[in-house]
């Protein structure tokens, strides 16, 4: 295990070499996969994340005791929910709350199906989110960062740029400043996050974007916020805005 101090020194040396963070075009996380992983990701028979998508499709059609199936209200989801994932996170007008796709699905679950919430990172919510997001595959991310979303966007941007943790590193220093550099066998990407929920080999399962964010927070020994926390939701909006125009790639495969 590499010590925090050594890692910090190594990264600072790399940052000095890389010079000032350049405002280049953002590329998707898949661009930074090895060719073999890329092939595995793109082959539905070899990318285990598709199992979750299939589970999600099954759940979508299942009627809970308390109300309608998702399918009962969202008929022909391949058409009716196509593109939905590209617009999340988004501010819900009525409540002024920022909702990501997981939050929106939980809302339908509790308020429209009158059933108990699945819970963040439950197999059910991951499957349904992966399924709904997969219906937007190939469509460009198109969140709104203006109007009521502006304060959330600003909070996310400030989070992204703030140095934090024992290593005193910002998200930006790695995901802008060190893009393309190797870190513990990974190639640092722009942190676009357009393939989540994704199957990560290290997890041996599918996980949400917030699970990945928690891993990055831990990596710099900073506070790990809760799944669905306001901090990570704002960050998710900022990342989605940075990734505007990039195609949805859910379900992705990651190391
Ligand atoms: C009783 C009807 C009903 C049920 C059951 C229902 N929904 Fe919804 N859902 C809606 C309505 C109505 C909206 C639109 C709300 C709005 O736009 O303000 C919506 C919105 C959504 C959206 C956002 C679409 C967009 O374009 O932003 C998603 C995703 C979604 N539902 C998924 C689900 C899932 C998954 C389930 C099952 C767990 C489910 N819904 C169950 C009625 C329902
Ligand atoms: C020490 C460098 C470092 C810092 C600081 C860091 N990350 Fe990461 N991050 C990584 C590495 C390495 C990966 C895995 C390779 C990749 O996809 O970039 C990763 C992955 C990600 C991913 C997944 C990308 C994908 O497509 O799978 C996102 C999103 C992300 N980081 C966001 C953040 C955010 C937001 C912060 C700040 C809270 C942050 N990271 C801080 C190194 C870092």
CA distance linking residue 158 with residue 143, whole number of Å: 18
Which ligand 1 atom minimizes the distance to the CA of 109?
A: 38
How close is the Cα of 15 to the center of ligand 1, in Å?
Answer: 45
Q: Give yes or no for a contact between 239 and 91, defined as CB atoms under 8 angstroms apart.
A: no
Digit-by-digit pLDDT tens for the chain (255 residues) are 456 667 777 776 666 655 444 456 899 999 999 999 999 999 999 999 999 999 999 999 999 999 999 999 999 999 999 999 999 999 999 999 999 999 999 999 999 999 999 999 999 999 999 999 999 999 999 999 999 999 999 999 999 999 999 999 999 999 999 999 999 889 999 999 999 999 999 999 999 999 999 999 999 999 999 999 999 999 999 999 999 999 999 999 999
Nearest to 182 by CA among 18, 5, 48: 18
How close is the Cα of 171 to the center of ligand 1, in Å?
Answer: 33
How close is the Cα of 105 to the center of ligand 1, in Å?
Answer: 7
Pocket of ligand 1 (CB under 6 A): 60, 67-68, 70, 72-74, 81, 84, 87, 104-105, 108-109, 112-113, 128, 132
Place of tokens 């196509």: 82
Pocket of ligand 2 (CB under 6 A): 11, 29, 32, 160, 169, 171, 173-175, 183, 186, 188-189, 191-193, 195, 212-213, 216-217, 219-220, 235, 239, 254
């Amino acid at each position: 295990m590499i010590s925090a101090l050594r890692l910090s020194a190594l990264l600072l040396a790399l940052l000095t070499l890389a010079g000032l963070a350049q405002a280049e075009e953002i590329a998707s996380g898949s661009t930074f996969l090895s060719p073999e992983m890329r092939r595995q990701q793109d082959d539905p028979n070899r990318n285990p994340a598709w199992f979750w998508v299939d589970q999600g499709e099954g759940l979508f059609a299942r009627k809970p005791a308390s109300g309608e199936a998702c399918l009962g209200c969202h008929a022909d989801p391949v058409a009716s929910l196509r593109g939905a994932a590209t617009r999340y996170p988004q501010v819900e007008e009525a409540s002024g709350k920022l909702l990501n796709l997981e939050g929106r699905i939980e809302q339908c679950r509790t308020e429209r199906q009158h059933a108990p919430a699945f819970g963040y990172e439950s197999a059910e919510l991951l499957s349904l989110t992966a399924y709904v997001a997969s219906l937007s595959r190939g469509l460009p991310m198109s969140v709104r960062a203006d109007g009521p979303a502006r304060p959330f966007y600003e909070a996310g941007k400030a989070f992204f740029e703030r140095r934090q943790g024992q290593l005193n590193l910002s998200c930006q220093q790695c995901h802008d400043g060190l893009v393309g550099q190797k870190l513990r066998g990974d190639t640092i990407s722009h942190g676009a996050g357009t393939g989540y929920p994704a199957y990560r080999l290290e997890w041996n399962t599918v996980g949400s974007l917030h699970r990945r964010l928690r891993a990055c927070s831990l990596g710099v020994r900073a506070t790990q916020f809760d799944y669905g926390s306001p901090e990570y939701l704002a960050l998710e909006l900022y990342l989605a805005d940075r990734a505007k125009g990039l195609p949805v790639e859910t379900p992705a495969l990651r190391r």
